[in-house]
Amino acid sequence: MKLISTSELLSLQVRVIVSLILRETRATFGTSTFGYVWAVITPTVSVALLVFLFSMVGRHPPFGSSLALFFATGILVLQLFNELSNKLMTVFDANRALLTYPIIKDVDTLLARAILISTTYVMIMVTFFGGLWLLGLAAPPARPDQVVIAFLAASLLGIGFGTLNAVVASMWETWTQVEKVLTRPLFFISGIFYVPSQLPPQAREFLQWNPVLHLIEWFRWAYYPNYGTTLLNVWYPVGLGAGMLCIGLLGERVFRSARF
């Protein structure tokens, strides 16, 4: 019997994940390039519409001189987390037929979808913030390395929650509806429309338990050269995301036989 080397196993695993990413791309955006472009344009238009509405009522940015930049640094981070958390929740059921092939594992489908969503949001953020820079509405980020790390931390938190959601939803279908209700307040308690450090102490004490708020504060601190924050704890969302991911992967292994 011929033994397969580690490099051959790794090459095979990469080909499987790439194939799953291409399948996810076709299933999500269709076969035309416009489908993917539309996925990039939609969040950009939604943020632009929100900025326009607030500008019409005379709203000024809570920090900095650009209302569009302040809102985008909050909304796009929250959208990245929500997309990963929500879309990964259905990944096992959506790929149930593929999982009958021994070469494809649950984690492969999870990783493929996570990579596709994260890559899409890289394009969305580059397009939006690059557009603001070209229009003179924003400067380049003050700490580009921290922008990248904050993005990776947001992806980790979303993947962690999404993996745990996928395991729970595969055992209890109602969880998909319950999770939407539980995460809906994030739009209001994550600091999208305000600077959390300027709130009263009682409010800050409550909001500091929200990991998405820390991610938004981290992203804004990385983008603005003089953004001061008293709430930011970079290890909180990273540790929580890693912990949720480990629990989710362990749960997937434990409950795998019960799902099929």
- The domain spans of the chain are 6-259
- Classify burial at 206, counting beta carbons within 10 Å of its beta carbon; exposed 0-12, middle 13-18, buried 19 or more: exposed
Q: What type of residue is 115?
A: I
| Non-local CB neighbours of 180 within 8 Å, separated by 6+ positions | 86
Task: Compute the distance between CA of residue 81 and CA of residue 159 in angstroms, rounded to an integer.
Answer: 8
pTM, whole model, 2 decimals?
Answer: 0.88
Contact 72, 128 (CB under 8 A): yes
Task: Compute the distance between CA of residue 238 and CA of residue 153 in angstroms, rounded to an integer.
Answer: 6
Contact 25, 36 (CB under 8 A): yes
For 1-28, letters b (16+ CB in 10 Å) and e give eeeeeeeeeeeeeeebbeebbebbbeee
Q: If you average pLDDT over residues 118-134, what whole number do you get?
A: 88
Q: Per-residue pLDDT for 19 more than 90?
A: no
| Non-local CB neighbours of 256 within 8 Å, separated by 6+ positions | 106
Q: What type of residue is 171?
A: M
pLDDT of residue 173: 79
Q: If you average pLDDT over residues 101-124, what whole number do you get?
A: 83
Q: If you average pLDDT over residues 188-208, what whole number do you get?
A: 89
pLDDT of residue 229: 85
For residue range 64-107, list pLDDT tens digits in order.
Answer: 778 888 888 999 999 999 999 988 888 877 666 666 666 777 77
